[in-house]
């Protein structure tokens, strides 16, 4: 039998051919013959021996290291291990403590949130700030919120509250009264209905949209879960709650048929000066109020009017006049002038209403820009009748300080109309000093008004005399005997003012208009001049322009006394001989020039 030939393969390592049975697959080498594999294994063994020799050499070298070095390294190693253990322990303790505090914080945060929600339910300002964290609240906004809270409660108790808030433009009144107050009140009383009005329907709709969006928020639902919007009635001009309450928005003069109101809000019913000065526009607003808006009020419902005054006969002025005549509702009226005209509960005379938004410098710029009339009406909430009644606007020529005749070229006369008492409802005491020049022209140089007690009035009378050294000081006879006589005489003696001449004025039985005829005649002839840029003088002019329909006429009475004093005497026209001036004269001159005798604040 013939012998078969073996199958050969080529070994790339030794480059020879060998039978297939002599080949093996080796990692890193591939397919090689067993001869090359044996050689490869011997090479690996040799390399391992070399490595062991090197390792043994390192061990021998380390064995030769000094005992001190080995001890030092050992201590350092132990120190590192100890520090690492300490750091890990501290970190673990802090982590545990943090986890423990975190649990406490969660409970505290939850409690704070619940307390904050309750605060928002009870009070308006926290509610406003929860939905508008950028709202810059000052004392005036806190005061308004407190009054709106009381108003809300009075409506709930069906007390028919009537509230007017007079405030300058851009001071945050609409954010409170027209955007936030309705949503807050509906949260507490979801069954109540609102009617909100403004000079334009677009503005009223904007207010409605803001109120509705607040109520839609999940945050609002957490505060007032019972107040929800009715899905079937959500138009922007009229929407409802699931408790049959709701909100309707209309422009002033617009129809309100078929809608009722537990609260009627009128926010700025007048658009601009042109509309305010239009008698027809004012009459339209009054007719709309009486025939349309007022008739929609629910029994015990409230009316809130928040506005900037434009005119003496605007809606608010007319309603107050009706109340004075006993022909309308009684109103609570809160005025917020941009600059305080007297000391108030939360600010002093001359302070800005909200200095965080409008500091005094900004208000002064506004005053220069808008002029006296609009400043008095829009910012000081003191609108003046455009032309006046008994006294007309063209009867008040103004003068600047540099135009006033020299002090020693005039004779001075002072008249006082007294009102004893410091309460807000009391009349004011008015003191007016005029200088009469050689041409018999009257210069109103000093106007003082305020609510003072007897001591304060006497001090004002004597301080005025010390400044001007009036030839005659006129005071109504009955006031001297009944009120200040003994104390006045005592203070005159104490101050060494025995040269002061006081004329006891007799009121007689003539009415106020007849008593004012002499000063009116002088003013018609253009012989009475009023100081420009003086707030006290402007206050007097405003009062005279309102006479005889104005609420207060104390300044008119004082000017009437001046007219009667001038009418009943002969004025010395000669120039007073110049005297050597001492330091007291120079001091008095400085006081007069600084305006100290023209803008005294009421107590």
Q: Which residues pair with 306 in a beta bridge?
A: 165, 267
| Distance (Å) of CA 303 to CA 194, 210, 281, 329 | 10, 21, 21, 10
Query: Please, which pLDDT band fits residue 12 given cuts at 50, 70 and 90?
Result: confident
DSSP assignment of 375-411? IIIIITS----SS-SSS-GGG--EE-GGGSPPGGGSE
The pLDDT of 22-44, averaged and rounded, is 78
| Better pLDDT: 54 or 455 | 455
Which pLDDT tens digit goes with each residue over 106-139? Answer: 677 778 888 889 999 999 999 998 988 888 888 9
As a whole number of angstroms, the distance between CA 163 and CA 334 comes to 8
- Name the residue with tokens 């001869």: 35
pLDDT category at 576 given cuts 50, 70, 90 is very low
- pLDDT at site 1: 43
Q: Evaluate whether 459 touches 497 at the Cβ level (below 8 Å).
A: no
Band (481; pLDDT cuts 50, 70, 90): low
pLDDT value of position 435: 97
For residue 432, which of 520, 587, 563 has the smallest C-alpha distance?
A: 563
Q: What per-residue confidence (pLDDT) applies to 585?
A: 59
> Cβ(428)–Cβ(451) under 8 Å?
yes
Average of per-residue pLDDT values in the chain:
84
Between 88 and 578, the more confident residue is 88
pLDDT at site 449: 95
Least confident of 83-87, 521-525, 539-543: 83-87
- What's the residue count for the chain? 603
Report the run of H or E that residue 73 belongs to, with start and end.
Answer: helix 67-122
Place of tokens 């020693």: 408
For residue 206, give every residue at least 6 positions away whose Cβ sits within 8 Å of its Cβ, in sequence order, or none.
Answer: none
DSSP string, 145-190: HHHHHHHHHHHHTT---EEEEE--TTSSHHIIIIIIHHHHHHHH-T
What is the structure's pLDDT at 582? 55
Domains and CATH numbers, the chain: 10-43 (no CATH), 124-336 (3.40.50.300), 393-593 (3.30.420)
Query: Residues 6 or more apart from 210 whose CB is under 8 A from it?
Result: 179
Residue that the structure tokens 């039998």 belong to: 1
pLDDT given at position 186: 95
pTM exceeding 0.85: no
Average of per-residue pLDDT across 481-489: 82
Residue 64 is predicted with a pLDDT of: 61
Would the pLDDT of 396 be above 80?
yes
418 Cβ contact partners less than 8 Å away, ≥ 6 residues apart:
429, 457, 475, 476, 479, 483, 484
pLDDT at 19: 83
pLDDT digits (tens, 9 = 90+) for 56-76: 776 666 666 566 677 777 787
Q: Would you state the pLDDT for residue 598? A: 40
Written as one string, the DSSP assignment of 93-143 is: HHHHHHHHHHHHHHHHHHHHHHHHHHHHHH-HHHHHHHH-TT----HHHHH
Cis amide linkage into residue 603, ω under 30° from 0: no
- State how far the Cα of 414 lies from the Cα of 463, in Å rounded to an integer: 12
Q: If 0-12 CB within 10 Å is exposed, 13-18 middle and 19+ buried, where does residue 509 land?
A: exposed
User: How confident is the model over 239-265, as pLDDT tens digits?
Assistant: 999 998 999 999 888 888 777 899 999
Question: How many alpha carbons fall within 13 Å on the CB side of residue 361?
Answer: 1
DSSP tag of 236: T
pLDDT for residue 42: 81
Among 370, 340, 335, 365, residue whose Cα is nearest residue 353: 340
């Amino acid at each position: 039998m013939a012998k078969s030939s073996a199958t050969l393969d080529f070994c790339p390592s030794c480059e020879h051919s060998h039978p297939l049975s002599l080949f093996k697959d080796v990692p890193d080498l591939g397919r090689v013959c067993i001869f090359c594999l044996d050689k490869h294994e011997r090479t690996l063994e040799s390399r391992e021996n070399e490595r062991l020799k090197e390792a043994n050499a390192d061990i021998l070298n380390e064995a030769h290291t000094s005992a001190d070095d080995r001890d030092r390294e050992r201590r350092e190693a132990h120190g590192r291990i100890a520090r690492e253990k300490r750091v890990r322990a501290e970190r673990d303790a802090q982590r545990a403590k943090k986890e423990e505090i975190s649990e406490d914080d969660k409970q505290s945060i939850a409690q704070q949130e619940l307390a904050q929600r309750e605060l928002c339910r009870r009070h308006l300002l926290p509610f406003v700030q929860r939905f508008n964290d950028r709202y810059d609240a000052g004392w005036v906004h806190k005061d308004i919120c407190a009054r709106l809270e009381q108003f809300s409660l009075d409506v709930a108790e069906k007390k028919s509250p009537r509230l007017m808030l007079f405030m300058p433009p851009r001071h945050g009144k609409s954010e409170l009264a027209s955007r936030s107050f309705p949503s807050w009140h509906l949260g507490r009383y979801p069954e109540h209905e609102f009617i909100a009005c403004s000079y334009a329907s677009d503005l009223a709709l904007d207010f409605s949209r803001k109120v509705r969006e607040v109520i839609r928020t999940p945050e609002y639902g957490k505060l007032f879960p019972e107040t929800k919007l009715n899905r079937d009635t959500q138009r922007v001009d009229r929407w409802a709650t699931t408790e049959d309450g709701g909100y309707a928005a209309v422009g002033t003069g617009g129809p309100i048929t078929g809608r009722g109101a537990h609260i009627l809000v009128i926010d700025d019913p007048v658009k601009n000066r042109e509309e305010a000065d239009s008698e027809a526009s004012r009459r339209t607003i009054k007719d709309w109020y009486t025939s349309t808006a007022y008739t929609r009020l629910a029994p015990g419902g409230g009316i809130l009017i928040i506005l900037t005054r434009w005119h003496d006969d605007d809606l608010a002025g007319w309603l107050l006049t009706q109340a004075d005549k006993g022909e309308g509702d009684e109103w609570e009226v809160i005025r917020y002038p941009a600059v305080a005209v007297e000391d108030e509960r939360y600010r002093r005379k001359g302070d800005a209403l909200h200095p965080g938004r409008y500091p005094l410098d900004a208000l002064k710029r506004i005053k220069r820009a808008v002029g006296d009339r609009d400043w008095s009406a829009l910012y000081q909430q003191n609108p003046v009748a455009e032309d006046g009644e008994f006294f007309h606007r063209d009867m008040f020529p103004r003068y600047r300080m540099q135009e006033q005749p020299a002090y020693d070229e005039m004779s001075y006369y002072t008249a006082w109309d007294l009102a004893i008492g410091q309460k807000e409802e009391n009349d004011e005491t008015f003191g007016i000093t005029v200088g009469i020049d050689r041409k018999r022209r009257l210069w109103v140089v000093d106007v003082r008004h305020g609510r003072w007690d007897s001591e304060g009035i006497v001090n004002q009378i004597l301080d005025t005399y010390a400044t001007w050294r009036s030839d005659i000081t006129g005071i109504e006879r009955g006031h001297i005997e009944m009120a200040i006589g003994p104390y006045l005489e005592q203070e005159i003696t104490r101050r060494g003012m025995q040269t002061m001449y006081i004329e006891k004025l007799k009121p007689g039985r003539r009415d106020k208009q007849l008593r004012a005829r002499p000063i009116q005649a002088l003013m018609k002839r253009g012989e009475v001049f009023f100081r420009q840029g003086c707030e006290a003088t402007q206050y007097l002019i405003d009062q005279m322009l309102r006479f005889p329909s104005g609420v207060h006429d104390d300044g008119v009475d004082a000017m009437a006394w001046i007219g009667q004093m001038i009418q009943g005497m002969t004025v010395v026209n000669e120039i007073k001989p110049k005297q050597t001036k001492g330091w007291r004269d120079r001091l008095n001159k400085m006081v007069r020039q600084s305006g100290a005798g023209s803008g005294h604040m009421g107590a």
